[in-house]
């Protein structure tokens, strides 16, 4: 194992007028060089907060990363980095692509200038070198006629092209980790597939590790090596792509999988949707956070936090259904034998 990132006991709160929101609750995970890890879950489960914390992009305060937390990048704790070190860490070591390129790109600057800015700051290139490198980067992300396109403003490009520009900026300093936060949500389905293929291609070419943040398990089916399912600030199940798609054992993961459209879904068939809402993260959580929405909930689920069950060296989950004294509950029939890939 060649770990590039090791997150240990990460706890993040937001101090608001209404009280302390415990958004991330003691999560631990790692990432290997060249690996793609997907953080999956509904809005508000803590996945984006986790991703931003890795880059120290959360405004502190109101955010607070608790002192026991560790985010180790190649052994160096990001939480203890100086402002100067953070400046080079962001971009040169870890870079991020955001959901909506239109709001992330500066509308008053040409895309070429925006790529060149990163190159001048981080790679100390002069104007000519930075311009040549910007053209090369736009060609790398398959933007046709790159020499002309560097003169375009963001509004002159399509959504897919803008996202390619964002990827070019993110890759400009050859980061070891690329964090992609819902990179295809604002795009239509065909462009989504092209952007995911492009990320995959670049990952193989440069051995960049990727953390993919998404609410959509369908997006990760062809892409992730490992999947981490988050709920109410905790990791409730983690496993390889195969383990999550073919042998997941947590009712929340089943609900997420059930809501992915499949090739054999009939045209008039309604897609499954999970009822209820996640718990309020200001209030103290007792028992399993998913209990109010879980059709298998038992008395103990309301009282005690489920223990972690280890199913393999890569597959773990927190659910009382795994306890040896609880009668076995089969995976839903609708999830058996399906082909997602
Ligand atoms: Fe459902 Fe209980 Fe498992 Fe939570 S611990 S997911 S409530 S069965």
Q: Are residues 176 and 240 in the same domain?
A: no
Is it the case that residue 128 has pLDDT exceeding 80? yes
Q: Is the model's pTM score more than 0.85?
A: yes
pLDDT at residue 337, rounded to an integer: 46
Give the pLDDT of residue 1. Answer: 67
Residue 238 and residue 194 share a domain: no
Across residues 140-165, what is the average pLDDT?
85
Ligand 1 centroid, distance to 287 Cα (angstroms) = 9
Within a domain: residue 44? yes
| 284 and 192 inside one domain | no
Q: Per mean pLDDT, which range of 108-122, 262-276, 280-294 is the poorest?
A: 262-276
Q: What pLDDT, on the 0 to 100 scale, is given for residue 305? A: 92
Q: What is the mean pLDDT of the chain?
A: 85
C-alpha span between 202 and 178 (Å, rounded): 11
Q: Is 80 exceeded by the pLDDT of residue 42?
A: yes
Q: Which domain holds residue 281?
A: 234-263+270-340
H-only helix segments in the chain:
47-54, 83-88, 101-104, 111-123, 127-140, 146-149, 159-171, 189-206, 217-220, 241-247, 251-258, 299-303
From the CA of 291, give the closest atom in ligand 1.
Answer: 7
Greater confidence (13 vs 189) lies with: 13
Tell me the CA–centroid distance for residue 64 and ligand 1, in Å. Answer: 29
Whether 156 maps to a domain, the answer reads yes
pLDDT for the residue numbered 261 = 67
CA of 330 to the centre of ligand 1 (A): 14
- Is 258 a domain residue? yes
Res 327: pLDDT: 80
Q: Are residues 212 and 296 in the same domain?
A: no
- Do 149 and 179 fall into the same domain? yes
Q: Are residues 123 and 258 in the same domain?
A: no
Domain assignment of residue 178, yes or no: yes
For position 209, what pLDDT does the model report?
92
The answer to whether the peptide bond before residue 61 is cis (omega within 30 degrees of 0) is yes
Same domain, residue pair 10 and 85: yes
Which residue's CA lies nearest to atom 3 of ligand 1?
319
Q: Is the pLDDT of residue 166 over 60?
A: yes
The pLDDT assigned to 197 comes to 79
Residues in contact with ligand 1 by the CB-under-6-Å rule are 250-251, 288, 290-291, 294, 296-298, 301, 306, 319-321
More confident residue, 303 or 334: 303
> Pairing state of beta strands 76-77 and 70-73?
antiparallel
Q: What percent of the chain has pLDDT over 70?
A: 92
How far is Cα 271 from Cα 260, in angstroms, rounded to an integer?
Answer: 8
Summarize pLDDT for 46-99 with one digit per residue, the tens: 999 999 999 999 888 899 999 999 999 998 999 989 888 988 888 889 988 887
- From ligand 1's centre to the CA of 121, what distance in Å? 50
pLDDT of residue 262: 66
- Give the residue-averaged pLDDT of 152-178: 84
pLDDT of residue 78: 92
54, 100: one domain? yes
What's the whole-number mean pLDDT along residues 123-150?
86
What mean pLDDT comes out for the span 213-235? 87
> In this predicted structure, what is the pLDDT of residue 51?
92
Closest atom of ligand 1 relative to the 329 alpha carbon: 8
Q: When comparing pLDDT for 270 and 8, which is higher?
A: 8
Q: Would residue 229 count as lying in a domain?
A: no
Separation of CA 289 and ligand 1 centre (Å): 8
Is a pLDDT exceeding 60 seen at residue 336? no
Which pLDDT does position 263 carry in this prediction?
62
| For ligand 1, mutation pick of 230, 285, 297 (most atoms within 8 Å of CB) | 297
pLDDT recorded at residue 338: 52
* Shared domain check, 247 and 176: no
Predicted local distance difference test score (pLDDT) of residue 183: 76
- What is the average pLDDT across 4-26? 92
Query: Which protein residue's CA is at the shortest distance from atom 5 of ligand 1?
Result: 319
pLDDT at 340: 52
76 and 167 fall within a common domain: yes
**Residue 74 CA to ligand 1 centre (angstroms):** 36
253 and 191 housed in the same domain? no
Number of domains, the chain: 2
Q: What is the pLDDT of residue 268?
A: 65
Question: Does some domain include residue 31?
Answer: yes
HEC sequence for 131-162: HHHHHHHHHHCCCCCHHHHCCCCHHHCCHHHH
Dist. CA 288 → ligand 1 center (Å): 6
Ligand 1 atom closest to Cα of residue 289: 4
Please tell me whether residues 198 and 252 are part of one structural domain: no
211/226 Cα distance (integer angstroms): 10
What's residue 92's pLDDT? 82
What are the DSSP calls for 109-123, one per residue? S-HHHHHHHHHHHHH
d(C-alpha 18, C-alpha 16), whole Å: 5
What is the structure's pLDDT at 273?
75
Last residue of a domain, one of 224, 255, 284: 224
In a domain, 336, yes or no: yes
What CATH number corresponds to the domain at position 110? 3.40.50.300
Tell whether 304 is covered by a domain: yes
pLDDT score, position 187: 66
């Amino acid at each position: 194992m060649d770990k590039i990132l090791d997150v240990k006991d990460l706890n993040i709160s937001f101090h608001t007028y209404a009280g302390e929101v415990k958004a991330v609750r003691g999560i631990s995970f790692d990432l290997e060089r060249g690996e793609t890890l997907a953080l999956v879950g509904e809005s508000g489960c803590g996945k984006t907060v986790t991703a931003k914390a890795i880059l120290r992009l959360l405004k502190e305060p109101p955010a607070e990363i608790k002192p026991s937390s560790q985010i180790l990048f190649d052994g160096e704790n990001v939480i203890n980095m100086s402002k100067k070190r953070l400046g080079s860490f962001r971009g040169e070591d870890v870079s991020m692509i955001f959901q909506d390129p239109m709001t992330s790109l500066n509308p008053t600057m040409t895309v070429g200038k925006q790529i060149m800015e990163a190159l001048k700051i981080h790679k100390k290139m002069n104007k000519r070198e930075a311009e040549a490198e910007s053209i090369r980067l736009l060609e790398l992300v398959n933007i046709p006629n790159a020499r002309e396109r560097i003169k375009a403003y963001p509004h002159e490009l399509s959504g897919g092209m803008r996202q390619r520009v964002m990827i070019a900026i993110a890759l400009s300093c050859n980061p070891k980790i690329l964090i992609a936060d819902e990179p295809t949500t604002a795009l239509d389905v065909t462009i989504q597939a092209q952007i995911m293929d492009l990320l995959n291609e670049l990952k193989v070419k440069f051995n960049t590790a990727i953390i993919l943040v998404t609410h959509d398990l369908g997006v990760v089916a062809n892409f992730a090596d490992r999947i981490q399912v988050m709920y109410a600030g905790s990791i409730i199940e983690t496993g390889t792509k195969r383990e999550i798609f073919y042998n997941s054992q947590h009712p929340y993961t089943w609900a997420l999988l059930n809501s992915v459209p499949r090739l054999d879904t009939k045209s008039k068939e309604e897609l499954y949707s999970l009822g209820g809402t996640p718990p309020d993260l200001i209030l103290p959580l007792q028992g399993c956070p998913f209990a109010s929405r879980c059709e298998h909930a038992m008395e103990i689920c309301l009282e005690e936090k489920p223990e972690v069950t280890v199913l393999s060296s890569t597959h773990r989950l927190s659910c009382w259904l795994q306890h040896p004294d609880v009668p076995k509950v089969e995976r839903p029939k609708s999830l058996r034998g399906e082909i997602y890939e």
